[in-house]
Chain A
């Protein structure tokens, strides 16, 4: 943790020090203690604001419980989970969510990488302007961005139909939100526009980590730009790519705002979060809604683990340990 701040000479000292106990030196132990003291309060706050609600949701999910009828709250075990998993609506929501996640994250990764390169290579005089311009969409509130995209594509208020009538399939009367795939297309576009800057920012940090000496060595060896990109740049920023992909996938899997604003879940565009919203907030079925939320949480955890396994990257390595 704080070892990276020590001079290289000292870094190796504790490991060979004679006062090792259980493989950990006194020094490392006191540092660990300091670490806990520093991170402890934040850890407690995290537990209070995330672990507690999650455990509460797990507990509530075992009940049949309607907010307006607390007197009839009854324990029904795993029945809520059975209801959800045996319902085609759940599976449809899962596939819609997977679709949105895969499409948006894939496109964002490519676009974000391009933008990161632009930001990294831009002339230093215009770099701040380029960065600010690229980051603006990320600063827009998701609901506002969703409204903007909805108004743009709306058949009455939108300009898209008249501007893009030259594209085959687009006419003055194209109702973008009247069909499943068209709705999903606009939702994905809005998501991509909004969150590509986030990915590019993370990738920019990764690009900065690639040692210039490696690039130069490759250049000396006669590697082309393309070879350097694939053999030097990308392998060296694997951790940054993995962090960007992981964060965005988790984020994308919880997509809600754009769907809520643009289609209200019509035409089979409901995501898993939307399903949780409908059960918990609209129907006030706290038990069923909590079960949906718990399942969503489990899927998100699963995504996180599979990313870490698939990329074989130790997140701690990004700290330089």
Chain B
């Protein structure tokens, strides 16, 4: 088709104008979020709406100094890490506050992704906080995040089943006793056998409970990290896994916390190690009419089982600490907001409504908390004794390798699996093997 003179350039101009219009619109859309300097974005892990409510409360309390907006991260903690770390590697300045799972904090801190905690803030936010939560927020002897809430697992049991098995739950129990009782009663132990972070939590608690550690000595160079997976403690831990796997139920190798609590509620399992959320969940289900009231009435709780007799158990430590993004434009305001978020009032609110235990020890004496959570004193005791997962910059590799070797739990062999895991972790950290 012949072109009329000038038509081509006219078309070109029109196309150019359209393109620049689109570009302006796109840029404007990108800029509108960060245009307001006093808006802080808080990347939160999914919960029952508690963090959004706390954000609203703190925004109100700030009296216009800042507004906190929440942005939700993926459900799995490993995926939360992936999303945050990739954004931070690209120096994303929209990340002002983030809810961090403690084992990943060293990696964030070492990479320089966390804004340094001002000394006065550090002093205030660690006062009266349970030890494990302070440790979980510390890297290289420095506080790098603000302790928010601290989680730990308890041993949940059906009182009727424990009684029938003749277990004295007032006294500390061992995994071995539980496995024997479950076998005798024809019931199950609900534990986290799934190939996920939860499996690492279990392995870590078992090894720590026998007096060992997955990482005995950390080091700057990944290949110099000393592992404790060949120790006697690791053998004891493997022995426990070996004895629990046969009574872990038919889907033990895919069972995570949620599947565990379903089994426990339905009565398939009479014993369970799990986080305290199971209690409000059961009460909520009764209220909603989906669970018989007699089920939670039969619930009993005790300290996490012992790996070996005569040695105190070291329950898992979890929870969330608040990190402030190193590339945030408002780190001072962000720390101000973080202090508000972790206030005693907010921690109490979060504990009572969302079932997430506080990092502040004083919250456990609150009558409101005690009314909702009769387990509160036990949770606090567990938190004081809890063992964090290995603190290392290479946590993701360590955990991934452990999951690969220790899964399924039915294949675990004392004296063999630990050795294999140690070899794999060392090879992966030395860059000699894939994960």
Chain A residues close to B by CB (< 8 Å): 64, 67-69, 83-84, 87, 89-90, 154-156, 173-175, 177-178, 263-267, 275, 278-279, 281-285, 288, 292
Please report the C-alpha to C-alpha distance between residue A90 and residue B435 in the assembled complex, in whole angstroms.
9
From residue 185 to 199 of chain B, which have CB atoms closer than 8 A to chain A?
A: 194-196
List the B side residues contacting A288 at CB < 8 Å: 431, 434
Q: Which of A67, A156, A263 has the most CB of B within 10 A?
A: A156
Please report the C-alpha to C-alpha distance between residue A90 and residue B434 in the assembled complex, in whole angstroms.
8
Residue of A67, A173, A278 touching B250 (CB-CB under 8 A): A173
B78 touches A68 (CB 8 A): no
Distance of A147 from chain B, by nearest CB (Å): 12
**Is there a chain A Cβ closer than 8 Å to B366's Cβ?**
no
Number of interface residues of B (CB under 8 A): 31
With both beta carbons as reference points, the residue of chain A lying nearest to B433 in the complex is identified as: A87
Q: A89-B433, A155-B251, A266-B407 are in contact. Are A282 and B107 (CB under 8 A)?
A: no
Distance of B192 from chain A, by nearest CB (Å): 13
Closest 6 CB pairs of A and B: A173-B250, A68-B111, A266-B195, A155-B251, A178-B253, A175-B251
List the B side residues contacting A89 at CB < 8 Å: 433-435
Please report the C-alpha to C-alpha distance between residue A67 and residue B82 in the assembled complex, in whole angstroms.
11
A155 touches B254 (CB 8 A): yes
With both beta carbons as reference points, the residue of chain A lying nearest to B403 in the complex is identified as: A266
A265 touches B195 (CB 8 A): yes
**Is there a chain A Cβ closer than 8 Å to B177's Cβ?**
no
B434 touches A177 (CB 8 A): no
List the A side residues contacting B432 at CB < 8 Å: 83
B396 touches A283 (CB 8 A): yes
A282 touches B82 (CB 8 A): yes
List the B side residues contacting A266 at CB < 8 Å: 194-195, 253-254, 407-408
With both beta carbons as reference points, the residue of chain B lying nearest to A171 in the complex is identified as: B250
B111 touches A69 (CB 8 A): yes
B400 touches A68 (CB 8 A): no
List the A side residues contacting B263 at CB < 8 Å: 156
Distance of A265 from chain B, by nearest CB (Å): 7
Q: How many residue pairs at the A-B interface have CB separations less than 8 Å?
A: 85
B407 touches A68 (CB 8 A): no
Q: A67-B86, A67-B89 are in contact. Are A278 and B196 (CB under 8 A)?
A: no
Distance of A136 from chain B, by nearest CB (Å): 27
* Contacts A87-B434, A266-B408 known; 19 new A-B pairs at CB < 8 A: A68-B107, A68-B110, A68-B111, A83-B431, A83-B433, A89-B435, A173-B251, A174-B250, A175-B250, A263-B195, A266-B194, A267-B407, A278-B400, A279-B434, A281-B86, A282-B78, A283-B396, A285-B431, A288-B431
**Is there a chain A Cβ closer than 8 Å to B262's Cβ?**
yes
List the B side residues contacting A154 at CB < 8 Å: 254
Please report the C-alpha to C-alpha distance between residue A263 and residue B196 in the assembled complex, in whole angstroms.
10
Distance of B189 from chain A, by nearest CB (Å): 16
Q: A67-B89, A68-B111, A288-B431 are in contact. Are A283 and B254 (CB under 8 A)?
A: no
**Is there a chain A Cβ closer than 8 Å to B397's Cβ?**
yes
Please report the C-alpha to C-alpha distance between residue A200 and residue B161 in the assembled complex, in whole angstroms.
56
B396 touches A282 (CB 8 A): yes
23 contacts between A and B (CB under 8 A): A68-B107, A69-B111, A83-B433, A83-B434, A84-B434, A87-B434, A89-B433, A174-B250, A177-B251, A178-B250, A178-B254, A263-B195, A264-B196, A266-B254, A266-B407, A279-B435, A281-B82, A282-B82, A282-B435, A283-B400, A284-B89, A285-B431, A288-B431
Bitwise interface map of B from 70 to 82 toward A, beta carbon under 8 Å scored 1, else 0: 0000000010001
**Is there a chain A Cβ closer than 8 Å to B385's Cβ?**
no
Q: A155-B254, A175-B253 are in contact. Are A68 and B89 (CB under 8 A)?
A: yes
Please report the C-alpha to C-alpha distance between residue A282 and residue B196 in the assembled complex, in whole angstroms.
13
Please report the C-alpha to C-alpha distance between residue A275 and residue B86 in the assembled complex, in whole angstroms.
18
Please report the C-alpha to C-alpha distance between residue A66 and residue B222 in the assembled complex, in whole angstroms.
12
**Is there a chain A Cβ closer than 8 Å to B372's Cβ?**
no
Bitwise interface map of B from 388 to 416 toward A, beta carbon under 8 Å scored 1, else 0: 00000100110010000001100000000
Please report the C-alpha to C-alpha distance between residue A278 and residue B396 in the assembled complex, in whole angstroms.
10
Distance of A261 from chain B, by nearest CB (Å): 12
List the A side residues contacting B431 at CB < 8 Å: 64, 83, 285, 288
Residue of B85, B195, B252 touching A264 (CB-CB under 8 A): B195
List the A side residues contacting B295 at CB < 8 Å: none
Please report the C-alpha to C-alpha distance between residue A128 and residue B149 in the assembled complex, in whole angstroms.
57
B254 touches A175 (CB 8 A): yes
**Is there a chain A Cβ closer than 8 Å to B259's Cβ?**
yes
List the A side residues contacting B251 at CB < 8 Å: 155-156, 173, 175, 177-178
Please report the C-alpha to C-alpha distance between residue A155 and residue B397 in the assembled complex, in whole angstroms.
30
List the B side residues contacting A84 at CB < 8 Å: 434
List the B side residues contacting A178 at CB < 8 Å: 250-254, 408
List the B side residues contacting A292 at CB < 8 Å: 434
List the B side residues contacting A264 at CB < 8 Å: 195-196
List the B side residues contacting A279 at CB < 8 Å: 434-435
List the A side residues contacting B433 at CB < 8 Å: 83, 87, 89
List the B side residues contacting A282 at CB < 8 Å: 78, 82, 396, 400, 435
List the A side residues contacting B262 at CB < 8 Å: 156
Bitwise interface map of B from 87 to 108 toward A, beta carbon under 8 Å scored 1, else 0: 0010000000000000000010
With both beta carbons as reference points, the residue of chain B lying nearest to A70 in the complex is identified as: B89
Distance of A193 from chain B, by nearest CB (Å): 21
With both beta carbons as reference points, the residue of chain B lying nearest to A79 in the complex is identified as: B431
Please report the C-alpha to C-alpha distance between residue A89 and residue B405 in the assembled complex, in whole angstroms.
13
Please report the C-alpha to C-alpha distance between residue A178 and residue B193 in the assembled complex, in whole angstroms.
10
Please report the C-alpha to C-alpha distance between residue A281 and residue B86 in the assembled complex, in whole angstroms.
8
Please report the C-alpha to C-alpha distance between residue A177 and residue B196 in the assembled complex, in whole angstroms.
14
With both beta carbons as reference points, the residue of chain B lying nearest to A155 in the complex is identified as: B251
Distance of A86 from chain B, by nearest CB (Å): 9
Distance of B256 from chain A, by nearest CB (Å): 10
List the B side residues contacting A263 at CB < 8 Å: 195
Distance of A122 from chain B, by nearest CB (Å): 41
Distance of B360 from chain A, by nearest CB (Å): 31
Please report the C-alpha to C-alpha distance between residue A218 and residue B408 in the assembled complex, in whole angstroms.
59
Distance of B417 from chain A, by nearest CB (Å): 16
B435 touches A278 (CB 8 A): yes
Please report the C-alpha to C-alpha distance between residue A174 and residue B251 in the assembled complex, in whole angstroms.
8
Please report the C-alpha to C-alpha distance between residue A279 and residue B111 in the assembled complex, in whole angstroms.
18
Please report the C-alpha to C-alpha distance between residue A264 and residue B79 in the assembled complex, in whole angstroms.
12
Please report the C-alpha to C-alpha distance between residue A304 and residue B113 in the assembled complex, in whole angstroms.
43
B250 touches A155 (CB 8 A): yes
With both beta carbons as reference points, the residue of chain A lying nearest to B110 in the complex is identified as: A68
